[in-house]
Structure 1
């Protein structure tokens, strides 16, 4: 059995993965449907007794390859704006890792001089809440926190700690949602909403008034109380993972 991590099979450059599957990136695809089908048949025949899976990233510009792949037993796994990832089992019980099954969000508890930074969204009738929103693809938690608060309130903040993690289902796209509430420290104080399409109003409100307001969700109140009483998980430059060539954030108790 050939266990090299990179192998040329037909026109494809294949990359071996930890599940004994091989992956074909978009750049390795041919330009014509006929060439794709001929080489795909050869690839399946060449690997069917020694690999578990075949993964193919099909670029949106090659979407006419999709019916060819599905005809050969490939099925959809996941996608992004410019590609779809298809996979084929070469053995009936081959393990296929689950596709991304959640979205990520981040919210900020920002307190200054006993006042809490809150926003009111245009599409929501739940009253005032903590600023926050989606974490973008490839974006770090602390970076998303700073960006979201700036867009929704105009306030510059720096990340302090994670105070709460919420898991909600169902959410957008039939996925779960993980919502990370963080304590952030204000570096400026003047309200200047940048995202006026989403945010109707932003303001500093007295914490006690907020906690006593009947229009505020109990969940939001619980987050604020937790932020006052606890320190949470702080961002740590931990030496155990400094050798990996990836962007990462590690959070540990204070």
Structure 2
């Protein structure tokens, strides 16, 4: 290569998603010998662009690229009969709320095999440094054909703090603070977005003791497996245990 010539590195074709990341759909045949270098160069470019996550959709006819993809740090997300989804998360502060000034609840994704009541405690700890204990499920929303055409459950949970000194996670959280529920509810974003408006109203009602959610009750099967039953505990005098004692949670 001459001194005046600049080498052009080919990148994988991608589309931006709604969460600050990119989605790569491998549709044309790719030489598995050159795919690793294409992927590495593309990841480097996406990092420079501040992309939060990279999703690669590999149709079954391109299964020969799975090994190279996994070696670059990707992990299985979900599979369908005709394709496999892999995911890599990069550590950037981004997303649709970046730069908007909107204050939102800590959120996160439940790990495989993890109860969502445990996940809520973990995510709050990771993002804010606050230790909590689970209290109630205030509400939940179910949607279908959302992210990657999958069904999704969003749980709005109430936790009780065990400490109040915030130690935010610098990799994901720009700022964290305690805010009166009235101020949270009054944000223009919450007033304009129907889902967030309902959630804010539920939280306000809970703060005024006019609302009762669903509390978790640990149950054990004959094999010793523990699961949780969530129920309204407002009037537990009508519920009794097997030894005819009032049910408390």
TM-score by length of structure 1 reads 0.49
Bigger Rg, structure 1 or 2 = 1
Highest RCO, 1 vs 2 (Cα 8 Å, sep ≥ 6): 1
